[in-house]
Amino acid sequence: MDHGLDDLAATARAALVREVEAGGAWASDPRWREAFESVPRHLFVPYYFVGAEDGYERLWCEDPDPRRRERWLRGAYADSPLATRVRDGQLVSSSSQPSLMAKMLAELEVQDGNAVLEIGAGTGYNAALLAHRLGDELVTTIDLDPEITESARRHLAAAGYHPRVVTGDGARGCPEHAPYDRVIVTCAVTSIPRPWLAQCNPGAHILAPIATGVIDLRVRDAGHAEGHFLQTPAYFVPLRGAERPEPRPTADGGLPRRAIQNELFRFLLALTAGALDPHEALALWEREEQPERERYGITVSGEREWAWLDDPEGPYAWPLA
């Protein structure tokens, strides 16, 4: 970049850090501020796509038009998700919203010396944040797509980070570098693959997007884990891999618009899809006074896995696998 854009990048990054901090994303672990101050996001998104009338418009760092280069750079430091790979009109990879990334990293509750597995390498930006905090040798990131892992590896090297970047099926974990103390998943799943538990130390955390939310599981052993959802909504590109279950269909025909347009009800619909009739879900939602995400949780016990409201053994429970 030319000198002017370099200065703009520093200014834009500082503004992003202030915005994320004002939102309280890392209030529980302020040490993440240093990572976001230090890791240059623009190096991980040399190009990305924005919505346009005919599909997507590509912005990139080497655009000959200086105004479009500046637009690319400012967009790289917006607190927004960025579409980084589109195939046949479908989004297959993205860089997540920085404030959501900060929230998930803070909720991961990492400690010095923790080994972390990231499922879904994306651009490599999240792995760089983890490597900045913990050191390269404690971070492993995996993705099914060799193009994604190769570009993530290049981006990381350009920013001065060298965690392990593995090409493989994230649904199967990464046993060659196990055990892990933390697993953070940056793609949506419909249930928790058992290999993740088997590759964790007892007491490990697994943070994974499910049903437009993020579940925070505590691992007891290779067959048992349990936890609640975070408060924040989350929308991620689905996990691709051999162990990924087929998405369960949802239906909202005949439901009142006030419910369909309510984000928390949409979360309940997605969480109970295929296990609970949408009208039954509506009755539950109203009876329980529109419960917040934190009241929901997931339990994994041997071959069983279920979501629940308030109590794992209570009356409201729905199988996930």
Amino acid occupying residue 3 = H
Active-site position among 28, 38, 93, 96: 93
What is the pairing mode between strands 200-210 and 224-229? unpaired
Point out which residues pair with 258 in neighbouring strands. Answer: none
DSSP codes, 45-88? -SEEEEEETTEEEEEETT-SSHHHHHHHHHHHTSSS-EEEEEET
Given a contact cutoff of 8 angstroms between Cβ atoms, the answer to whether 13 and 41 are in contact is yes
Residue whose token pair is 């998104």: 45
Q: Phi first, then psi: what are they for 118, rounded to 5°?
A: -105, 125
Given a contact cutoff of 8 angstroms between Cβ atoms, the answer to whether 14 and 92 are in contact is no
Q: Within 13 Å, how many C-alpha atoms sit on residue 250's CB side?
A: 16
CA-closest candidate to residue 41, choices 149, 165, 158, 202? 158
C-alpha Rg value of the chain to the nearest Å: 20
Residue 32 gets the label, from left (phi > 0), alpha (psi -120 to 50) or beta, of alpha
In the residue annotation, 93 being an active-site residue is answered as yes
Indicate which residues carry an active-site annotation.
93
